[in-house]
Amino acid sequence: MKKFLLSGWRLRFNVIESSRYGPLYLAALLFLVIASATRLALSIVALSHSQIAAPQLAAIIPIGFFFDLITCLYLFALFALYLFIIPERLYRTRLQRRFFLLVYFASIFGLLYLAAAEYIFFDEFDARFNFIAVEYLIYPHEVFVNIWQSYNVWQFILLTLVVALGLMWRVHPTLIKAFSHRSTYKTRLIPLLIFALLLAFVQSFVNINTGHFSQNRVANELAQNGIYSFFSAAANSELNYPQYYKTIPEGDAIARLRSMVTQPNSTFIEGAINPIARRVDNPGTPQLLNVIVLLQESLGAEFIGYYGDKRNLTPNIDRLASESIVFTNVYATGTRTVRGMEAVAASFPPVPAESIVKRPKNENMFNWSTVMQKNGYSPTFIYGGYGTFDNMNYYFGHNGYRVVDRTSMDKPTFSNIWGVSDEDAYRNAFRIFDEQFAHGEKIFSIIMSTSNHKPFTFPAGIPGVQSTGGGRDAGVKYSDYAIGKFFDALKTKPYYTDTVVLIVGDHGARVYGKENIPLPSYELPLIIYAPKHFKPQSISALTSQIDVAPTMLGLLNISYDSVFFGRDVLKTLDNRFALFNHNRDIALYQNDKIAELGFRKTIAMYQYKKGDSEQIKTGPEEEQTKNAASLFQLAYDFYKHQTYRLK
């Protein structure tokens, strides 16, 4: 048996050594082995976490191998063309040979290192490389330094280098023999034509959804190839919504959207540039309190004691919640900070693929600051990191906010790649607020925290918080500690009694679950603290981040003209809805059902009630599907035609 296997292996190498395309065949073989090993490792992790069932491997392995083959075609297309074009005499020169071997080694190293990177990415997102990976690579400094500080990168590099050198040593003699093989353009043409025809076929008939065989999101992810997924996400980062997602006639969409955003105290403004422009009349005298929004990095409801967690990670938030209006059924719109920002600041849906915070032509859009400025407030956006990341400074700076980021803050007591510590950010925020109060300005501020993020490093000496190595729990504890210090400082200020503070997460800690959009991962805290003005109560109505601004404006009794997609929760306790985005999938959650709109116009419907263990796929429901299409297609139109404004 051993002799048979060795003879088979020798035959393969003879084929490689006797063809101009031999190095290509060998590269493809190495890639397929690495890709298959990566899939197997990730599958073992998923099995150990009960994210997939063992029988699903019967589909994951062959479908995955199919996508690995397709990725080979794309990945080595230029290599095949190079081997066809390069003249015989130049092909065998010493200089070309050395260059070729160097590139070959670098490619092996790169493929192995990508496999390690995929393992890390899967550990964080339960996914192969996707649109999140594309977004992160736009800002390589922050991302790579974060990876450096969060993982033992040198160990990965050294291990990868050793394995790559070992593989190169093994295949080097075969490559040298391949250089001695003579060929003509004619003998090289047929393999190239076959290669080109196969590439044309997969380009025409295969896409990222082709291999989706299961309702289990993680199983579908494992059946993909990470490199293919990455380039698919990159190629579709600027999506034309009508081309890739379900739409309905514009008139029907407008009528449906109007019925979904209306509330008892609103009337539509006829003839407005935006069809959902409406007047919101809040009775009574406006309470023009100072408003401070603590937008908390990765703070899911799962960590908050008031929301049911038993680990005592958030004693300060729990104490504040007992004196606040607490919303207990709140969902993020997405899995990234910019999604939380567009939802909280602009009450805007998470249209795929990119957030409006990062899109071009996002200036002067209707948002929370539009209303606050008209009522005498001086809006600020305060961020402990560098606001060039994710285009935050540009977006907020061109939408009515004074921007204060790390470059405007005094020397911090502690910082890492993502920014200064939350304590430092809050201390600098009070410097701004004190100046505003001294000048007679009304304070409206969104403060974006940074500390609850890998690499999870914090100032030393805080009781119960590991300065390094404590992971997510330490991040939550430190966030809670910093919030406690924030309120201690706020209570010493002359504007404390006239200030309302909102605590809300930007998104959950990470995406758990096998569903395309696993709702428990999106659950957030929303706490509105102003006990001298608002009676503490618990609100269980379904709430989305897009409802934060209109609900707060209602509590302040501010009347205003609006094009918000969200509504005042306290005035519309029934017929609630929430919106979601994950990678390319979008969804509407309403009446305990999820209408999911997928890439390339796929549609699915699920039954789900908060607290259920899983989403149950049901038959299509035309009305809710049309409602979902109305919300997302009109949001896309408003952005594209720059009509997310009043005039």
Give the rounded percent of residues in the chain with a pLDDT score beyond 90. Answer: 66
Of 47-56, 499-508, 555-564, 634-643, the one with minimum mean pLDDT is: 47-56
Q: Is the pLDDT of residue 328 over 70?
A: yes
Q: How far apart are the first and last CA of the chain?
A: 79
**CA pair distance 521, 417, nearest whole angstrom:** 25
Locus of tokens 């081309």: 243
Q: In this predicted model, what pLDDT tens digit does every residue of 571-587 receive, in sequence order? A: 998 889 999 998 789 99
Going by pLDDT thresholds of 50, 70 and 90, the confidence category of residue 9 is very low
pLDDT of residue 235: 66
Q: Which helix (H) or strand (E) holds 640?
A: helix 622-640
Q: Is the pLDDT of residue 238 over 80?
A: no
Q: Is the pLDDT of residue 10 over 60?
A: no
Going by pLDDT thresholds of 50, 70 and 90, the confidence category of residue 147 is low
pLDDT of residue 371: 98
CATH code 3.40.720.10 region(s) in the chain? 283-567
Going by pLDDT thresholds of 50, 70 and 90, the confidence category of residue 7 is very low
Q: Which of 48, 236, 230, 30 lies closest to 121 in space, CA to CA?
A: 230
pLDDT of residue 5: 41
Best mean pLDDT range from 7-21, 131-145, 182-196, 307-321: 307-321
Q: Is the pLDDT of residue 178 over 80?
A: no
**214 CB contacts (<8 Å, ≥6 apart)?**
56, 59, 220
**Has domain 283-567 been given CATH number 3.90.1150.10?**
no
Task: Provide the mean pLDDT of the chain.
Answer: 90
pLDDT of residue 549: 98
Prediction pTM value? 0.80
Q: Is the pLDDT of residue 47 over 70?
A: yes
Q: At what angle do helices 22-48 and 153-179 cross, to 10 degrees?
A: 150
Burial bucket for residue 36 (CB in 10 Å: 0-12, 13-18, 19+):
middle
CB contact burial 90-105 (16+ within 10 A = b; e otherwise): ebeeeeeeeebbeebb
Identity of the residue numbered 335: T
Q: Is the pLDDT of residue 13 over 70?
A: no
Q: Is the pLDDT of residue 535 over 70?
A: yes
Three-state secondary structure along 460-474?
A: CCCCCCCCCCCHHHH
pLDDT of residue 185: 85
pLDDT of residue 565: 98
- Asked if 320 and 292 touch (Cβ cutoff 8 Å), the reply is no
Q: Is the pLDDT of residue 141 over 60?
A: no
- Asked if 499 and 490 touch (Cβ cutoff 8 Å), the reply is yes
pLDDT of residue 21: 85
Q: Is the pLDDT of residue 135 over 70?
A: no
Q: Is the pLDDT of residue 536 over 70?
A: yes
- Of 546 and 361, the one with more pLDDT: 546
How confident is the model over 41-58, as a mean pLDDT? 91
**CA pair distance 226, 248, nearest whole angstrom:** 34
Beta-strand relationship, 616-618 and 602-607: antiparallel
pLDDT of residue 22: 85
pLDDT of residue 493: 98
Going by pLDDT thresholds of 50, 70 and 90, the confidence category of residue 93 is confident
Q: In this predicted model, what pLDDT tens digit does every residue of 249-269 receive, in sequence order? A: 999 999 999 999 999 999 999
**CA pair distance 537, 34, nearest whole angstrom:** 56
Going by pLDDT thresholds of 50, 70 and 90, the confidence category of residue 496 is very high
pLDDT of residue 4: 41
Beta bridge partners of 590: 577, 593
Going by pLDDT thresholds of 50, 70 and 90, the confidence category of residue 88 is confident
Q: In this predicted model, what pLDDT tens digit does every residue of 396-427 receive, in sequence order? A: 999 999 999 999 998 899 998 889 999 999 99
Identity of the residue numbered 201: F
- Of 8 and 244, the one with more pLDDT: 244
Dihedral sign, Cα of residue 613, residue 614, residue 620, residue 623? positive
Q: In this predicted model, what pLDDT tens digit does every residue of 349-394 receive, in sequence order? A: 999 888 999 998 999 999 999 999 999 999 999 999 999 888 999 9
Q: In this predicted model, what pLDDT tens digit does every residue of 110-130 receive, in sequence order? A: 999 889 888 888 877 778 887
